[in-house]
Amino acid sequence: MLDVRRLRLLRDLAHLGTIAAVAEAHTYTASAVSQQLAALQREAGVRLLERAGRRVALTPTGAALVRHTEVVLAALEAAEATLAAGRDGLSGGVRIGAFPSAVRTLLPAALVALSREHPALDLTVTELDPVAVPAALRQRRLDVALTHDYDIVPAEPDPALDSTPLLNETVFLAVPAAHDPPGRQDERTDPVAGARDADWIVGTPGTLCHAVAMHACQAAGYQPVVRHRADDFTALLALVAAGQGVGLVPELALSHPLPPVTLLPLALRRRTSVAYRRGAADHPAVAACVAALRTAAASITADRPPTDPPTATDPPNASG
Amino acid sequence: MLDVRRLRLLRDLAHLGTIAAVAEAHTYTASAVSQQLAALQREAGVRLLERAGRRVALTPTGAALVRHTEVVLAALEAAEATLAAGRDGLSGGVRIGAFPSAVRTLLPAALVALSREHPALDLTVTELDPVAVPAALRQRRLDVALTHDYDIVPAEPDPALDSTPLLNETVFLAVPAAHDPPGRQDERTDPVAGARDADWIVGTPGTLCHAVAMHACQAAGYQPVVRHRADDFTALLALVAAGQGVGLVPELALSHPLPPVTLLPLALRRRTSVAYRRGAADHPAVAACVAALRTAAASITADRPPTDPPTATDPPNASG
DNA sequence: CGAAAACGTAAGCTGAGCTGATGCTTGACG
DNA sequence: CGTCAAGCATCAGCTCAGCTTACGTTTTCG
């Protein structure tokens, strides 16, 4: 019978790439991980790892073993979910991760509803970028995470994770209000293409916001001139209003006293969803979080009827 | 993270009923099992067991946990199957269980083919009754097992096991050849009903053969008079030929120099199949065994064309 | 070409988990 | 209704799996 603890190390190695990183994630020493993986390999009777430079890579058999491990771990997660359901009330800690704009918009209402209906729940919110969500969930540093992806930067399906969709928003190109749409104004089909010569305000490298801005420009056939870096959309809007450049803003991030900017709707859409470990969907605490977030998302979309579906000819909240 | 070793103990407790039996199956002391289950319960935070008399019973939550455990174990089995597939050649030990008549009929050809094609395989055959097959597979005392069930005694689906069908045979009521069908001869619809007043030759209690004979008579509305007990069908046929009574005989068990008996085909059918642990279907050794048994079964049915489908008016091999 | 990163091996220590002993409760049986 | 065996839980004690620490080797990068 294979040892699940060792399989978990192998699974994490597949994602983290080095034994040292696996050790850090498990608060072990690298030596311990190396020994355990060696034991797993010995027990398996097949080569699972091989050195690749100064790191180790999985053999095809090792990768296949990881795929099976995902199933095992999902089943164990589901087992723990039923245990949690067997316990009397909804209690214990739930670590929620969310991207910054969700912490401001979606999350507060959901948190209020959750702590009202389940006062025994210990909710802990951590702000983190969507790119960090999968690893955080897998390494059990989070239980539930708000995340999103874009058409042009789709999240690759992760066998270890599951999710339910929450929102599907329009993304706008924010440009200074005083000006007309920058660049060639006849390019109405794609405002991003028209912003070829504009200065850009994007997120810091490594975040999803940064990646999507880069991809959008790349799809329009150019490399953007990055003038400013701002991860906070309110800050970004303020910079745009100050004439410092243009940037991408999702609908949810539009602050209510909107600075004087013009919002050009793009074909690009942002899909927000709640993610959790596969098998945890039946965990009562996770289910409660998902339900609360769904109602919060529903009330948000109800508050802003004209924005969904987007009316390209009449951008909402656009002020002159 | 739940400990799979402990979950396995709980799963086995669900089937074996007592901690002592689980301990014996794992070659532990009862104390060790008790401690591990207590630890599992502590870790789970829910009552999983409760004393019922001088034994322990699972709570509903405990039973739910067992169901999840089956999934976990099946995934681990599948993982080991891919490891075995990753190893160079087909090698290692394969413990095959089979009911007695299969050992004589189906198995030899399959064994010959297997050891010819995969000489590195260490085949070990154990004779055992189908009722013992599920426990033997679960407790890993066997890897593959030939088993069967009947329409009137269907094998309940076991979440821990999987199987592929091999044969579907007619069951006959064997009666002495000299006599006409015993009892009221007008009851052509059901020979078993006509054998109400006959002496019966059945298997020893606890075997599936015994159970199916009892069920068949019960379905015909009576309790059979059991004169002799014989598990071996050749012995049973000899007894019938000697006029000692009647008995049920499946098609596969008909010895080739058939004693002078009359065989009355019944509506009852016996379904033979190969069983293995769920998840092990992709294990190369298991797959090879299944394939060999399938071809053996196919050649047997090809050898006896008139018997499948059965011709009720002209019982095969019936001699006067 | 030194230095850091990454992995593996050897030695030593600690706790999880086993055995064995003991006591309690339950059910069967005369 | 007393006796006995079956079955489970708890306690004490011991052993080894598995961790850390230390060190050596290989690779990559500045």
Question: Is the shortest CB-to-strand distance from A54 to strand D under 7 Å?
Answer: yes
A5, closest nucleotide (Cα–C1'):
D18
What is residue B124's predicted lDDT score, i.e. its pLDDT? 95
Q: Is A156 a residue whose pLDDT tops 70?
A: yes
Q: Which domains does chain B have, with CATH numbers?
A: 4-84 (1.10.10.10), 88-146+278-303 (3.40.190.10), 169-271 (3.40.190.10)
Q: Which helix (H) or strand (E) holds B174?
A: strand B161-176
A61 and B78 within 8 Å at the Cβ level: the answer is no
pLDDT tier for residue A254 given thresholds of 50, 70 and 90: confident
Residue with tokens 């055992």, as numbered in its chain:
B128
Separation CA B32–CA B6 (nearest Å)? 11
Residue nearest to nucleotide C21 (CA to C1'): B31
A45 CB neighbours in chain B (<8 A) are 83, 87
A71 and B61 within 8 Å at the Cβ level: the answer is no
A86 and B61 within 8 Å at the Cβ level: the answer is yes
- A298 secondary structure, DSSP code: H
Q: Which helix (H) or strand (E) holds A242?
A: none
Encode pLDDT of A80-94 as tens digits: 999 999 987 777 889
Encode pLDDT of A192-208 as tens digits: 888 899 999 999 888 89
Could you say which of B45, B71, B72 has the minimum Cβ distance to residue A83? B45
Encode pLDDT of A31-80 as tens digits: 999 999 999 999 999 999 999 999 999 999 999 999 999 999 999 999 99
What is residue B314's predicted lDDT score, i.e. its pLDDT? 39
Contact B178, B243 (CB under 8 A): yes
Work out the burial of residue B70: count CB atoms within 10 Å of its CB; fewer than 13 is exposed, 13-18 middle, 19 or more buried: buried
What is residue B206's predicted lDDT score, i.e. its pLDDT? 84
Q: Is A314 a residue whose pLDDT tops 60?
A: no
B17, closest nucleotide (Cα–C1'):
D7
Mean pLDDT across chain A, nearest whole number? 88
Measure, in angstroms, how far nucleotide C1 C1' is from residue A63 CA.
38
Q: Is residue A230 classed as helix, strand or coil in its secondary structure?
A: coil
Q: Largest Cα–Cα distance in chain A?
A: 70
Nearest residue of chain A to residue B89 (CA atoms): A46
Lowest mean per-residue pLDDT among A28-42, A85-99, A158-172, A174-188 = A174-188
Distance from CA of A116 to the nearest CA of B (A): 24
Encode pLDDT of A259-288 as tens digits: 889 999 999 999 999 999 999 999 999 999
What is residue B180's predicted lDDT score, i.e. its pLDDT? 56
A235 Cβ neighbours under 8 A, 6+ residues apart: none
What is residue A308's predicted lDDT score, i.e. its pLDDT? 42
A2 and B65 within 8 Å at the Cβ level: the answer is no
| Residues 153-172 in A contacting B (C-alpha not used; CB under 8 Å) | none
Taking 50 as the pLDDT cut, the residues of chain B under it are: 182-187, 306-320
What is residue A307's predicted lDDT score, i.e. its pLDDT? 45
B5 CB neighbours in chain A (<8 A) are 1
Q: Is A163 a residue whose pLDDT tops 70?
A: yes
Measure, in angstroms, how far nucleotide C22 C1' is from residue A139 CA.
44
**Angle of CA points B35, B36, B40, to nearest 5°:** 120
B83 and A45 within 8 Å at the Cβ level: the answer is yes
Encode pLDDT of A105-153 as tens digits: 899 999 999 999 999 999 999 999 999 999 999 999 999 999 999 988 8
B30, closest nucleotide (Cα–C1'):
D8
What is residue B319's predicted lDDT score, i.e. its pLDDT? 36
What is residue A318's predicted lDDT score, i.e. its pLDDT? 35
A83 and B8 within 8 Å at the Cβ level: the answer is no
A2 and B69 within 8 Å at the Cβ level: the answer is no
State the average pLDDT over residues A210-235.
Answer: 90
What is residue A188's predicted lDDT score, i.e. its pLDDT? 57
What is residue B258's predicted lDDT score, i.e. its pLDDT? 85
CA distances from B178 to B183, B184, B242, B243 (A): 14, 16, 10, 9
Which nucleotides along chain C are within 7 A of a protein C-beta?
Answer: 5-10, 17-21, 25-27
Question: Is the shortest CB-to-strand distance from A55 to strand D under 7 Å?
Answer: no
Is the CB of residue A225 less than 8 Å away from at least one CB of chain B? no
Q: Is A181 a residue whose pLDDT tops 80?
A: no
Residue nearest to nucleotide D25 (CA to C1'): A54
Distance from CA of B98 to the nearest CA of A (A): 24
